[in-house]
Amino acid sequence: MTASSKNDALLVLADGTVLQGKAFGSRGSVVGEVVFNTGMTGYQEVITDPSYSGQLVTFTYPELGNTGVNPDDQEAAQPHARGVIARQLVPQPSSWRCQQPLETWLDDHGVVGICDLDTRALVRHLRETGAMNGVISSDGCSPQQLLERVKNAPSMEGLNLADQVTTSAPYTWTSRCGVGFDQRLKNRSDSPFRVVAIDFGIKRAILERLVAHGCDVTVLPASADLDAVLSASPEGVFLSNGPGDPAAVTAGIALTRDLLTKADLPLFGICLGHQILGLAMGGRTFKLAYGHRGLNHPCGTSGRVEITSQNHGFALDAGSLPEDSVAVSHLNLNDRTVAAIAHRQRPIFGVQYHPEASPGPHDADHHFARFVASMAERR
């Protein structure tokens, strides 16, 4: 079996599984970790989320491309997912917001895709065996040749991908508030809170929510040290989401330890930033079998549940966190993994999910208000 024409494509997994489909987007071969996302909407946000760097994303919703793409829904300037796997591609989008068909946009950005394969069977396989490396190919290579490429690709464990997606230079975020139709809180004040955000792969929607809650945000690279952070005179520090193995982001962990021991500032981490915060406070992380990627993950404790958006392949080990200083404040109610942590004495906390997203629709947005309240109290 080969991809014999420009419209044929193969998906080959590290365990030797071969699926045949049709090529869309850019043509070629791309290797990455094959994962799945269970969201029914938001494919453009997923594909442009830097947290998907290094991954081939399987969309479980059977149709992709219904609403096309538009610049307001992007989480970064360009796609970060390496490849896209879909059941059915919609050739003609239908939305008043559409500015370009999905396939044309993917081709313009060099993103390889495969469709017309059984995504239900693929997802069942990944749930049983775990996420693994794979390759999408539409360049005529045989499955045997492609399997060799996959076998030579590095595992996600041990990869520091944050350094590949972070900003190359500091910048101040200029709000896009008012763009689109997000009607949530916009609480700009005459005296905004100065926040430094460490960019491990930050989403634009997070920056928007920080600004909407009354913050002026300076974004620094993942390599920033304590002096660089303090030179911006922050009233709080935000640790962003991002891709890869959190334990490999050694500069970010070192910075967070310095912030914990040498600065008295509120800290807030989301996703990878939450994991880095836990590592800096003495915890350990581990790789989940197939990760949490979707819009319907229930999280909470003590009878209160938040419906959350999640995208991560690693998690904090609850038993590794020092009980005298760190509390597990939320659990993922599907599998009881750590969903949020908080320092017992200081205004320092992290959440494993994405409160800037809107699956609940706004169940978790209060975490931004919590961060701002801690800065207001300190002020």
Instruction: Please indicate whether residue 354 is annotated as part of the active site.
Output: yes
Could you identify the residue written with the tokens 């930050």? Answer: 202
Query: Cα-Cα-Cα-Cα dihedral of 266, 270, 275, 277, to 10°?
Result: -10
How far, in Å, CA of 204 to CA of 296, rounded? 21
Helix (H, G, I), strand (E, B), or coil: what is residue 25? strand
**What are the tokens at 44?**
């453009």
Cα dist from 236 to 57, 197, 227, 353, whole Å:
34, 9, 15, 20
Partners of 20 in beta bridges: 10
| Catalytic entry in 45, 271, 297, 306 | 271
**H-helix segments, 109-142:** 119-129
Helix (H, G, I), strand (E, B), or coil: what is residue 236? strand
Mapping DSSP onto H, E and C, the string for 321-367 reads CCCCCEEEEEEECCCCCEEEEEECCCCEEEECCCCCCCCCCCCCCHH
Instruction: Please indicate whether residue 141 is annotated as part of the active site.
Output: no
How far, in Å, CA of 318 to CA of 259, rounded? 22
Helix (H, G, I), strand (E, B), or coil: what is residue 285? strand
69 backbone dihedrals φ, ψ, rounded to 5°: -135, 155
The per-residue DSSP string of 54-99 comes to: TEEEEE-SSEE-TT-B-GGG-SSSS--BSEEE-SEE-SS---TT--
Q: Is the dihedral of CA 139, 141, 146, 152 positive or negative?
A: negative
| Catalytic entry in 297, 312, 330, 354 | 354
How far, in Å, CA of 119 to CA of 85, rounded? 8
| Catalytic entry in 75, 235, 306, 356 | 356
Other CB atoms within 10 A of residue 9 CB: 29
**What are the tokens at 330?**
């939320």
What are the residue numbers of the active site? 271, 354, 356
